[in-house]
Every structure is written in structure tokens, then in C-alpha cells.
Amino acid sequence: MTHEDWSDDDSDETVDLRLWRKLLKYTLHYRRTAVTFCVVAFGMAASDLGFPIVTGKLIADVEANGADANIAFYGWAYGVLAVSLCANICAFILCAGKIRTHVSHDIRRDAFQRLQELSFSFYDTKPVGWLMARLTSDCNRLSNILAWGVMDLIWGSTLMAGISVVMVIYNWKLAIAVLSVVPVLFAVSVFFRKRILRTSRLVRKANSRLTGVYNEGIAGVRTTKVFVRQEQNLHDFDQLADNMQEHSVRNAILSAVYLPIVLTVSSVAIALALVLGGHEVVLGTLAIGEVVMFMYYAQLFFAPVQDLSAWFAELQMAQASAERVLSLVEAVPDVRDTDSVTLRLSEMGSDGHPDAIGRIEFQDVGFRYRTGPEIIGALNLVVESGQTIALVGATGGGKSTLVNLLCRFYEPTEGRIVIDGIDYTDRSLRWFQSHLGIVLQQPHLFSGTICENIRYGDLEATQQQIEDAARLAGAHEFISELEQGYETSVGEGGNQLSLGQKQLVSFARAVLKRPRLLVMDEATSSIDTETEQQIQAGLARVLTGRTSFVIAHRLSTIRAADRILVIEKGKIIEQGTHTELVRQGGHYHDLYTEQSMRDIVRIDNAMDSGAETLQ
Amino acid sequence: MRAQSTHFVATSFVIKLPVHGASNQSPARPKAGKLQKSAKRTLWELTAGQRVRYASAIGAMAVGTVFLLVVPYVLQRTLDTITTGQADWSDTLVPAGIAIVVAHALHGFFTYLRGRWAAEASEGLVRQLRHRLYEHLERLPCDYHDHVDTGDLVQRCSSDVETVRVFLAAQVVEIARVALFVAVAIPIMLSQNLKMTLVSSCVLPVLVLFAVMFFRKVRGAFKDVDEAEAKLTTVVQENLTGIRVVRAFGRQEFEIDKFLQRNGKFRDLEYRLFHIMARFWTLSDALVFLQVGLVLIGGAWFVIHGELTLGQWVLFFWLVRTIIWPVRHIGRVLADSSKATVAIGRIQDVLSEEPESEQDITDEPVRGAIAVRDLSFAYRDGQAALNKLSLTIEQGETIALLGSPGSGKTTLVNLLVRLYDYTEGTIHIGDSELRELRRDSVRDAFGMVLQDPFLYSRSVRDNVVVGKSSAADHEVEESARAADIHENIVEFQNGYDTLVGERGVTLSGGQRQRLAIARALLKQPEFLVLDDSLSAVDTKTEAQILRALASRRGKQTTILIAHRLSSTRLADRIFVLDHGRLVQQGTHDELVAADGPYGRLWAIQGTIEDEIERDLSGAADR
């Protein structure tokens, strides 16, 4: 529902047919349906066209011949038309339904698959809500146009052309009279439809805001109570509700004005048919049946005009949707296999290098986001196979960027990263990333059971292996205390578990994978010291001979590393073992001292003196 | 008008009707019969204040209907005059033409009035309903909120309200319109010819009945589609928010498979819906054609046998074609309108919950020592949280609460701000019993940082000034500095005006906690409560915040809940809770010396600390 918020930032623009031609390819994928679809649209228009003729002829026949009128013939003719129209309607809904559902399915599929390939640099610029809106409301909107819009276009224009031709053939003077109203009607329709569409978007937007506020009101009810914000919140809510009411009423009033005007304008055509036609009847040049036929046509003409103007307005409004969806489907990932790797993969099934990750080298690596400032600059680093590297330093210093580069979520903008002597961009991305294990501070779990979440690390794992991994990660204990154990559902986003529990489960997931390269980004922040030590012991066993990178605040975690890198402003300013760094008396030493208990003693003194001055 | 129906097909799919998800089958629903009755009464009570406008809308519609149905009558008169050869240009035809346009215009005018009034009335009602719901939700006790699902509650406030809105704004009006159509059309027809009236209306009831029964039967299919869509959305959402995990585990293919399965399922179910709809439109259109065909052929037969004039025949034909499409549509409206009863019932469930009680016996200032005596408390689900707890916190004292999860720390502070009501034991603040103090004054006296801090999706500044609406910018900044979050905030793109959440900046756990601390500090409260609020911040920041707190020592009573001993150490006194009881209390030094849980905790932490101290002194020696 909140996705709606991201779908409304469109204004009406000129229709760019190039975009729609691309989208039409999705429809043409279902060639048979598309052809049937067109045939059916014509068939429907033709049947629609037939009714006034049968009606008019029947009336004229009765009028002229009285008891000798051939009622049975018209009965049959009417029956045939009715059956044909019903059959066409059935086929029409099935075809349009097929195109509508299948095209939106296909666009969504392409977009989703593309999203699985796109690099994080893409995700950095697009919030999840924005992406969701493309995959939900935009897909529906475009497929609606491609199915119902195209259908109405074919059917409507055929019908209008057909009616015009038939009327002109019967009586061109009456035809002109009836048709003279059409331009007015079209202009009025387009004018209103656009405004109605725009206000209805505003209503939807206001509505999704309102839903958001309810959500916030409920989720934040404790905060609201504790800060006694009820009045203020209700006041804010009322403003939004007023806004919603205002837009809704405006939207309804526009519709309330539009339909009567259309009806009145089209009644002019009916009246003209009656007056002019009636006059000709009096003169004896036209039958009453034919007057009825003209009035019937006059009425029949105006539904397609309304529909087409509605779609025309929608097409203009949906221009932005089409652009955004196509830009997503056609986006090219920044980080991808090079052409030569792709070639080797398709020819040999591998990238042609040994299946191992050993020595890792950063050679003059630099990185910046697009046009942003330099985040990492001229960084050199050699990590031998099996080493544990700890990264410390202030937030924003570039620790996370460094591991993102290591994992090839981004690629260096300068210099290169070399694994066992081979530039990692010359390796298969999929192969490389499938050997990574990553545990993040904000672990992401998928809705499903705990067991399913751990199994994500190795889809073929047995129950026993899953439990072993959980034990090593220190998660088994809390899991087995849960009523349903491993089958406990974690809820959407894992929200049924506490942060610490989520971290443990995501640890187990990484352990199960037995990655060649493990990255832990403040992965144990919400786990108590005792459990953390337990996990470290477990990891040490699993990860013998494997390389790992650890970002952490806790000293006990850092101390265990083979090498500690102090990172500041994108550079390694100190490195060495714990003891070496403490001896150096540099940044690490300061950082370390800051955290130790000595500081607390200082606080104690400060507090005591504070208390004294108060006394 | 035939063509109109195709447009209905299209729009009915473009605008998908709200169908409640699984929550419809919630077992907690009370008995249907009783509920429906009260639901209808609620609906009636709701219309208070808008009844006149609503009635005017229906009145306008009645007048409008008459004008529209005048048209076939005009046609009949004109055509019959022409047939009898008495027609001429200026006496018959032009007035008839003008009459048709005027009738349509008047019909249009009254339709506009109807549309406008009905919209104003129903939107006004719904606006009122929304207000009531929001206000009520904010007043319901935590006890209630603990036991309801947020998603379900939001759905009641959004899609259930929307169902009621559609019912009031469109369905009631549509039902009235069709009823009026029939009520006016039948007498007009009867005034012309009885037999022809029977022929012209015999299929109509069948049409309505068919539609009602059809939509009752296929309701499940609509629900299936909604559920499939919800599942698809969840898969996509989780994939996108967890994209790092997906990549890190190289699970793109697995994710694509999972997605394709859901995507395909949704497509198939939706397509099945189109099959169902195709069946409905085809069959009901066939019924419509049958009715119109009967009028045509039957009319011809009557005309030939002299029982009907040509004009009357056209009148019946025109009249039936005017009313038949709305009549066909009404079946669906009737079937859908039954949802309104369910929806209003679900809303009623929320509104009938008891809000937090509001009795203010004393209006004394909330200050002084906190004295808890024999306090016992159990949550609604029966889980005991406190068991005859007694403790005293002196005014201006800093105390730490320690204990394993579930020992009752959070419960105690929640009771202090009256988020829950206790029945056993007493809590005194100063000389007043807490229950006799106004909830709002109690909460005003406390600055509380909740265990899981909630931030509003507004600007950073707005989130901080929640603590004190009148705060000046420099005050906001000061408290942000004290919470060690100021440096972070100024680095955000728009500084204090940066939006929190997806549209702005996503905060880390530590930043959220610090922001929540800043707003509690801004309040400069009598009592400050930090409920495990430093767990996600690094030790350096922790020290910084503790230093800031130390400077306020003695001016405010501070209650700290924490796991790290570095936090609890600086308290004047430490209370150790276990299973809702007080097991140890005293200063840090006293407790370390004593044999008990605090001593054990200290030993574990101490080993690490000792090693660190050794390293450091070793380094210093060299």
C-alpha cells in the first residue's frame, strides 16, 4: 500500500510512441492471442453495428406491411447477432484477460530477473519502495493499457467508423447532423478525463499517506503515549484526513459534472435525429424505423468516444510509468562478467582459472561513488590465505566500502584487486560470490521457518547439518527452547526474533555454507560477551584455513585477529597485530584506551565531583 | 448503451474491489447474527449529521430519474403523432427535440446534485469514522496493542473503511437508483399496456438473481487472487530488502525460482478470474439480449395485432434499454454490499475496545522518591512478570536495573509510566499513589527511551522535538550533542531536516537509540529511563553519553537498564532482578564483594577486562 506513494510522481507528457512499441512486443509474444484479439474486436464491433439495423428494419417492416411483416426472419437475425456478440464478448474477455495477466507477469519477470543482476550502485539510488511500485502498480497499469486499452482502441474505432459509414449510406444529411456532435463530445471527454484521472491519483496518494499514518500510529503507540503526543498526532492526522476528504470530494464532483454533460451533449444528437428524421418521415422520404435506427446509433456512438478519451488520458499519464519500467528492464549492471569471461563461461563452463581463493591483494585501490568524493584512496594490502583481518576505525571511515569492494559488490574505480595473481574482474562473478559468507549487523531473514533460513546457506543440507551449524553459531540453545524449535516461523523480515537472535541465525546460515571467504560486519553487536566468545571458538574450528574479514567494536573480537587494520578517511593508517599496535601507542592504542574501564573510573570521579558541587 | 457494458468490463477490472485477506476468517469474530444487527446500528449512528444531505441526494436522484424516463414518453408521443400524420415541423418535432435535450439536461443537473451531495455526505461520514478510529487507537491501552497484529489493525482502518466508503458513496446510491428506475418505469409501462409490461420485465428479476448468486459463489476466487498477490509482493519485497544476503549466498537462481513460482501462480489465479468473469458477462449479456429481443419481437406482434401503437413499441424498447444495464450491474453491487456489514463489524470490534481509563484524582506534581511495595503483575496472556517486588529509588538517585531477559526490568519501568495498570501492590511517587495521578502528568514527568525506539517518518528535528514541542534549535542541538548524535546528523544531506526512513536516511540501530536518547534528554524530565538504550552503540559513544548523563546527576532521577557492566557501574545503586523479584541491591563495590549474580557477571567480564588492562600496562611499561 505504501508503494503507491512512489507511483504518483508523474505529470502528463507527450506520448512517446517508441516506448509503447517496445512494450507492445510483450503483447506480440502471444501472437495467436493477439491475432484472435483483433479478430474478436472487429467481430464485436460488427455485431454491435448490426443491432440498430435489425431493430430499424423490423420497425420499418411492421410500419409498412403490418400483419405481413416477416417477424420470424428478424427474430432469427436478432438471435444470430445476440449469439455472435455473446460469443465475441466471451472470447474478448478471455483474450484481453490473457494478455493482461501474461504481459504483466512477463514485465514483472523481466524486471525481477534484471534486479537480480543489477549492482548495488543501482540499489543505492533506488529505494525499495520505488522498486516495488515499478513491479506492482506500474506493471498492472501498463498491462491494462496493453490489454483493455488496445482492445477498446480497435473495437471503438471500428465501431465508430462502421456507424459513420452505415449512417452516411442510409442518409448523409442525418449522418452529418449526428456526427457534428462528436468533436464537442471528444473535447469535453478528454478535458474531464484527464482531470478526473489526476484527482483520483491524488486521492490514492492521500489514501496511502493516511494508511502510513495509521501504521505509524499503531506501531509507535508506546512512544506516543510516553511523550503524551496523542493530541498533536491526532491534529496531524486530521489534516491528512481533511486533505483526503477534499481530494475525494473534488474527484467525485468532477465525475458528477462530467457524465451529465456527456449525456446532455449526446442527447442533442438524439434530438437532432428525431427532429430531422421526423421531418423526413413527414415528407415521406424516411421510415420511422430508420429514425429509431439513427437515434440508436447516436446513442451507440458515444460509449467508444468516452472510452477512447479515457484511454487517451491514461496513456498520457502512464508515459512516466512506461519510461520507468523500461529503464529498469533495460538497465545494465555496473558489476558484471566481462565479455571474455562470458565467452569462456559459455565455451568451457568455467572462467578457466583454478577453483580456489587464496592470497588476496589490493593494488592501489581507489573508489568513489559516481561523481562523489573519494572514499578509498590508493590502498595497498596483501592478505595471505587463512588469515583473519580485523578492521577498526570510526564510522564512515571506509571499512564497509572496503569489504564491499572485496566482495565485488562494487568494483574499484582505480587500481585492482588480485586473487591468486588474477585480477578478480577476470573471474566469474557468480562463482566468486557463491564462495562468500557475509554476516551483517542488521541481518536479513526471509519469512519462513528458522530451519529454512539456515538452509539458505546450503540448500541441500540435512537437518543434522543444520543443527550442527546452529550449535557452532551458538544459536541451537535458544532455538531448542522455542516451542516449535527449528520449525518456528520467524515472521516477515524475521521480526518475531530479537536482534540478537537474528544475528545468531544469520551466523548459523553463514556457517552452514562453509564459505572460503567470510565477512562479518559488526555481526555480533547485540550478542552478549559470553555467547560471542562461544561463537568465536566455533568459527575457529569451521574456518581453519579460510580467510575472514571482521568489522567490530568489541575489543575481545578484534584482539583475536591475525592482523588489525585501522582505517581512517579511506586509508589504512596503522596495521599489525594487537600487541604490536598497542605498543606503537598510535590511533589503535587511543581507541583501545578510550574503551577500557579506566575511562569509567574517570567518569566515576566526574560524577562524584558533580555530586559534591551539588551538595 | 450496449457498448456501455464493455466499458464496465474494463473498469471493473481496472478498479479491483477490496477483498479482505485471511483476516476475514479470524476465529475471534463474534457471532454473526448479533454482530450484523449492531453493525447496522453503528452504520446508522454514523450517518448522524449527514442524514439531511444524504436524503437530499436521494431526492435529487428521484427527480432526475423521472426526467430521464420522460424521454421514451416523448419519443412515443412524437412517433405516434407522426404515424397518424398530424405531425409538423414547428408544433411537434422541434418541441420534441427541445424536450429531449431539456429532459437530459435536467436529468444531468439532478444527477450532478446527487453525485455532489452523496460524495460530500459519504466522505464526511468516512472522515469522521477515520478520526474516531485514529483517536481511539491512540487511547487504547498497551495491553490491547500487545495482542493485536499491526497489519490486521491497519487493514481495518484502511481497506475496511474503504469498503464502508464505497458502500455509502456508491453502492447505497446505486441500489436506490435502480430501485427508483424500476419504481418509475413500471408505472409508465403499466399506463401503456399490461401484457407488454409483463413481456418487458419478465427477465429482469432473473438477471438480478443470477448476478447476486453468481458473485456470492465466486467470492472465493477474488480472495485467492488477493492472497496470491500479497504473497508475491512479500517475496519481491523480501528479496529487495535482503539483496545483500541473496548476493552473498549467490542465491539469485533460487530467488528467481521462488519468484517465478509466485508470479506464475498469481498470473494463473488472475487469469482464472477472467474466465469466471467471461462466464458472467456472457451469460448475463445473453439474458439482457433475451429481454430486449422479447420487447422487440413481442412488441412487433402486439403492434401487428393492434394492441400497441408504433410509438408505444418504441417507448417500451427505449425504456427497457435505459434500465436494463443498471439492473444487470445491481446484482454485483448487492453481492458486494454484503461486505460492508462484515467491514463495519470489524471496525466496530476496534471501537468497542475499552480505552485507557481517565480518572484524575490528584493533580499534584509528579516528583519525589519512587517507592514500590509488594508489586505483582502479570500480562494478559497470564505470563507473570513481577512477583511481590519492593524497592525504593530516592529523588535524584541514579540506579541500574540488571537481570536476565524476562526478569521484569522493562515491565517495572512500563508500570512506572502507567503503560499498564497493576492491581496488586502499590507504587508511590512522592506522597501520591501512582494510580491516582493523571496518566499524562506522570508521563510528562518521565523521559523514557524505549527498548525498541520508534522513530516517526518525519525529519530528524521533528523526531527530537517530540520531547518538547517548544524547544529552540540550540536546545535540540544541545541534547543531540549530549546523546552523541549531533555529529552524525550534520553529516546527513539536509542536516536536521533530513527525513528519517526510506525517503530520507536509514539509521543504524545505534543511531536510532541515540536519537531516542536525544529526545528524552530534550525533555529535561524529572525521571529519566533508559531501557537497554546503549546496546547498539560502540563503547566509545557509550562512554560519551554516560559522561553527559553524569553531568546531570542529582538533578534528575535516572533509571538505567543495561547488560554491560560499564554502564551499570556508575549507578549509585544497582538492583538485580530475577523472575520478577529483587535478588540483590547495593552499590557496585558492595555487590562485587558479595556472593551473588552480580559478582558472577563481574567475574566473566572482569577476566576480559583484566587481560586488556594487562596488555595496556604491558604496552605502557615498554
CATH superfamily membership of B370-586: P-loop containing nucleotide triphosphate hydrolases (3.40.50.300)
A contacts of B448 (beta carbons < 8 Å) = 226-227
Chain B, residues 163-222, CB within 8 A of chain A, namely: 169
Quick check: A238 pLDDT over 90? yes
Question: For testing the chain A interface, which of B245, B458, B559 should be mutated: the one with the most A CBs within 10 Å?
Answer: B245
Give A311-364 pLDDT, tens digit per residue: 888 888 788 888 889 988 998 888 888 888 888 888 887 787 888 888 899 999
Query: Nearest by CB to A217, which of B134, B440, B523?
Result: B134
**Is there a contact between A300 and B290 if contact means CB atoms under 8 Å apart?**
no
Closest-CA distance, B85 to chain A, in angstroms, reads 7
Q: What would the 3-class secondary structure string for B399-411 be?
A: EEEECCCCCCHHH
- Cell numbers representing residue A606 in the block: 566526574
- Cell numbers representing residue A600 in the block: 569509567
What band does B3 get if pLDDT is binned at 50, 70 and 90? very low
B249 touches chain A (CB under 8 A): yes
Give the whole-angstrom CA distance, residue B76 versus residue A541: 97
Q: Which residues of A252-271 are buried (b: 16+ CB within 10 A; e: fewer)?
A: bbbbbbbbbbbbbbbbbbbb
Q: Which residues of B231-268 are buried (b: 16+ CB within 10 A; e: fewer)?
A: ebbebbbbbbbbbbbbbbbbbbeebbeebbebbebbbe
Is the distance from CB of A252 to CB of B123 less than 8 angstroms? yes
Cα A520 to Cα A352, A365, A400, A436, A517: the distances in Å are 29, 21, 10, 11, 10
B2-10+43-351: CATH number: 1.20.1560.10
- Identify the DSSP state of A332: -
B contacts of A407 (beta carbons < 8 Å) = 247-248
Strands B398-402 and B573-578: parallel
pLDDT for A602 equals: 43
Give the whole-angstrom CA distance, residue A601 versus residue B613: 13
pLDDT for A219 equals: 83
Strands B557-561 and B370-378: unpaired
Q: What is the ipTM of this complex?
A: 0.83
Give B92-140 pLDDT, tens digit per residue: 889 999 999 999 999 999 999 999 999 999 999 999 999 999 999 999 9
pLDDT for A595 equals: 56
Question: For testing the chain A interface, which of B114, B131, B247, B297 should be mutated: the one with the most A CBs within 10 Å?
Answer: B247
Instruction: Determine the length of chain A.
Output: 615
Quick check: B9 pLDDT over 70? no
Is the distance from CB of B514 to CB of B433 less than 8 angstroms? no
The sign of the dihedral angle between the CA atoms of B585, B588, B594, B595 is positive
Chain A, residues 564-583, CB within 8 A of chain B, namely: 578-579, 582-583
What band does A528 get if pLDDT is binned at 50, 70 and 90? low
Q: In this structure, what CATH number is given to the domain that contains residue A227?
A: 1.20.1560.10
Chain A, residues 339-398, CB within 8 A of chain B, namely: 395-396
A contacts of B109 (beta carbons < 8 Å) = 260
Query: Nearest by CB to B101, which of A151, A222, A267?
Result: A267
Give the whole-angstrom CA distance, residue A172 versus residue B339: 52
- CA atoms lying within 13 Å on the CB side of residue B65: 23
DSSP β-bridge partners for residue A391: A551, A565
pLDDT for A350 equals: 79
Going by C-alpha positions, the residue among A92, A60, A45 that lies closest to residue A300 is: A45
B26 touches chain A (CB under 8 A): no
pLDDT for B605 equals: 66
Phi and psi, residue B347, nearest 5°: -70, -40
What band does A161 get if pLDDT is binned at 50, 70 and 90? very high
Give the whole-angstrom CA distance, residue A114 versus residue A234: 43
Higher pLDDT, B24 or B48: B48
What band does B503 get if pLDDT is binned at 50, 70 and 90? low
**Is there a contact between A102 and B267 if contact means CB atoms under 8 Å apart?**
yes
pLDDT for A5 equals: 55
Quick check: B223 pLDDT over 70? yes
A contacts of B270 (beta carbons < 8 Å) = 97, 100-101
Is the distance from CB of B569 to CB of A600 less than 8 angstroms? yes
pLDDT for A110 equals: 94
B604 touches chain A (CB under 8 A): yes
Report which listed range, A490-499, B205-214, B588-597, is most confident.
B205-214
Going by C-alpha positions, the residue among A305, A277, A280, A278 that lies closest to residue A181 is: A305
Give the whole-angstrom CA distance, residue A124 versus residue B420: 42
Nearest chain B alpha carbon to A612: B554
- Identify the DSSP state of B437: B
DSSP, residue by residue, A298-331: HHHHHHHHHHHHHHHHHHHHTHHHHHHHHHHHT-
Q: Which residues of B283-305 are buried (b: 16+ CB within 10 A; e: fewer)?
A: bbbbbbbbbbbbbbbbbbbbbbe
- Give me the numbers of helices (H) and strands (E) for chain B, helices first please: 24, 10
Give the whole-angstrom CA distance, residue B148 versus residue B135: 17
Going by C-alpha positions, the residue among A15, A318, A311, A309 that lies closest to residue A191 is: A309
Residue A209 within a domain: yes
Residue A42 within a domain: yes
A contacts of B161 (beta carbons < 8 Å) = none
**Is there a contact between A493 and B274 if contact means CB atoms under 8 Å apart?**
no
- Using DSSP's 3-state secondary structure scheme, residue A279 falls into helix
A499 touches chain B (CB under 8 A): yes
State the average pLDDT over residues B6-14: 35
Give the whole-angstrom CA distance, residue B187 versus residue B33: 37
Closest-CA distance, A86 to chain B, in angstroms, reads 5
Give A27-74 pLDDT, tens digit per residue: 999 999 999 989 999 999 999 999 999 999 999 998 888 788 888 999
Residue A476 within a domain: no
Give the whole-angstrom CA distance, residue A231 versus residue A237: 10
Give A100-111 pLDDT, tens digit per residue: 999 999 999 999
Strands B573-578 and B557-561: unpaired
Cα A22 to Cα A25, A114, B272: the distances in Å are 5, 17, 27
Give the whole-angstrom CA distance, residue B424 versus residue B375: 6
Element (H, E) at A374: strand A374-383
Query: Nearest by CB to B535, which of A115, A433, A526?
Result: A526
**Is there a contact between A112 and B256 if contact means CB atoms under 8 Å apart?**
yes
Is the distance from CB of A74 to CB of B300 less than 8 angstroms? yes
Quick check: B10 pLDDT over 60? no
Chain A, residues 77-116, CB within 8 A of chain B, namely: 78-79, 82, 85-87, 89-90, 92-94, 96-98, 100-102, 104-105, 108-109, 112-113, 115-116
pLDDT for B19 equals: 33
Give B158-204 pLDDT, tens digit per residue: 888 988 888 888 888 889 989 998 998 999 999 999 999 999 999 99
**Is there a contact between B457 and A216 if contact means CB atoms under 8 Å apart?**
yes
Strands B384-393 and B370-378: antiparallel
State the average pLDDT over residues A441-448: 81
What band does A473 get if pLDDT is binned at 50, 70 and 90? confident
The mean predicted confidence, pLDDT, of chain A is 84
Closest-CA distance, A31 to chain B, in angstroms, reads 18
A contacts of B279 (beta carbons < 8 Å) = 90
- Cell numbers representing residue B442 in the block: 506522570
**Is there a contact between B569 and A604 if contact means CB atoms under 8 Å apart?**
yes
Residue A415 within a domain: no
B257 touches chain A (CB under 8 A): no
B contacts of A245 (beta carbons < 8 Å) = 123-124, 126-127
Is the distance from CB of B573 to CB of B585 less than 8 angstroms? yes
pLDDT for B109 equals: 95
> Domain spans of chain B?
2-10+43-351, 370-586, 595-622
Give B444-492 pLDDT, tens digit per residue: 899 999 877 888 888 999 999 988 888 899 999 999 998 889 988 888 8
pLDDT for A254 equals: 92
What band does A593 get if pLDDT is binned at 50, 70 and 90? low
